Amino acid sequence: MKALLVILDGIADRSQRVLGDKTPLQAAQTPNLDSIARAGSCGIMYPVFPGASAGSDLAHWHLLGYGDLPFPGRPAIEALGSDIQVKEGNVVVRLNLATTMIDSNERYVQIAPAYLPAEQAAEIAESLERYEPEKIQTRICHIGGPFFLIILPKEASTDITDSDPLYFRLTVRNVQAFERSGKEAQATAFEINRFISWAGKVLEKHRVNRARQEKGLTPINYVLSKWASRVAYFPSFRDKWGFDALMIARGVFYAGLARCLNMRFENADDFPEGAHIKGDLASPGEDLSLKMVRALKFLNESGDFAIVHTKAPDEASHGGRPRIKARDCEEIDQAFLMLLERLSKREDVILVVTSDHATPSGGSEWIVHSGEPVPVMVAGPTARIDDVESFDEISCARGCLGQISGKDLMPLILNFTDRARFLNSRNFPLIRPYRQTI
């Protein structure tokens, strides 16, 4: 039996007063998602652990069953997804262009990331990539828009702080080595601080900024760093879970995650039939439908596990727009109508729908993600049918799956696809969680 996992990024939420103390999922009209809930098993899931305000990167790491292994860090995975030449052990740090201001001798972020036209980003990238390091060999690599990576050798350290304060009310600080870290961390912090200082001077005089200021636009005058990580390789998804898998999503992180786990990857930006859709937000329902069509094609052919991801509900949350998020939930729901029609004729596919984290849409400047559980449901020929009638954070809590964590998701999928190993069996010298065949 095969599996289709649909991850609705950040669709879980908190009760919002403007929606009558309902979450956007509760407030939205989602007849197709509700139909799936009525036809299967429901529950709630803590993607990492209760209360964890995890990013999508770490949450996906757990949902895909790698939580027992050290997470390498988002920049290292983005390097893999950007086709940058890196070796195992390389240290990678994310850099974001930003607009900052000085107030009372303290630097504060005004805009970050500072998005700009592609041609302007390319001009700035050409300048910043000329950096000449002093202590540690360093490469600056542009990965699109206002985003860069700084690539350091394996002798560098990840035991350093971020200069990006993340919250606008906090000041921008120099990168520092962690307490009780070694000289490698000190040297790494020095080199990144040196680059940031040098980049600020380059940006201050850059032609792009002069042109922006002539047009009354804010200058892009600073670079922020965060998330020091180290390139590492891991057991393939096939070796760990026994599935031939495909991930369908957008963005260098998801491309890199697929490469890190040796999955196939399809970038929705490359779909010719979706050329009129610019990103997950342009048309959330149509975008998700196109991804689902590709997933079903893969399952119809050689594949047996497809992962479909959409960012739309998360982006609506970050904009502090509960009503728009509810509307996006309704548009996303329309994509499931087609999926239900296609799957109604099949007895060999398990459908799993969930989220990677909760993203409150209330607009708090101190909240990025939050640690409440997310709804999860499983539908297909092997799934029990409980008495849950709606796909939302409250209704699903009454389902027969109960409360699970992210690390439980892949074992459950093995179970529902009838691939789980009988735990008493000892037929192979290397024990796997799935049934192995010769």
- Tell me the one-letter amino acid at 239: D
What pLDDT is attached to residue 272?
Answer: 82
Here the tokens at position 41 are 């098993």
Here the tokens at position 435 are 């049934």
Domains of the chain, CATH where assigned: 2-69+235-416 (3.40.720.10), 81-230 (no CATH)
Specify the pTM: 0.94
The Cα–Cα gap between 425 and 1 comes to 20
Cα torsion angle, 46, 347, 268, 282, sign = negative
Instruction: List phi, psi (to 5°) of 218.
Output: -70, 140
Mean pLDDT throughout 43-72?
Answer: 96
pLDDT in tens, 222-243: 999 999 999 998 999 999 999 9
pLDDT in tens, 142-198: 999 999 999 999 999 999 999 999 888 889 999 999 998 999 999 999 999 999 999
Mean pLDDT throughout 332-360?
Answer: 93
What pLDDT is attached to residue 319?
Answer: 77
| Beta carbons within 8 Å of 315's beta carbon, 6+ residues apart | 10, 280, 281
| Beta carbons within 8 Å of 197's beta carbon, 6+ residues apart | none
What pLDDT is attached to residue 316?
Answer: 83
DSSP 190-231: HHHHHHHHHHHHHHHT-HHHHHHHHTTPPP--EEEEEEEEE-
**pLDDT confidence band for 362 (50 / 70 / 90):** confident
Nearest to 405 by CA among 373, 432, 437, 435: 373
83's torsion region: left (phi>0), alpha (psi -120 to 50) or beta? left
The Cα–Cα gap between 240 and 224 comes to 36
Here the tokens at position 348 are 């060999």
Checking DSSP bridges between strand 91-103 and strand 222-230, what pairing results, if any?
antiparallel
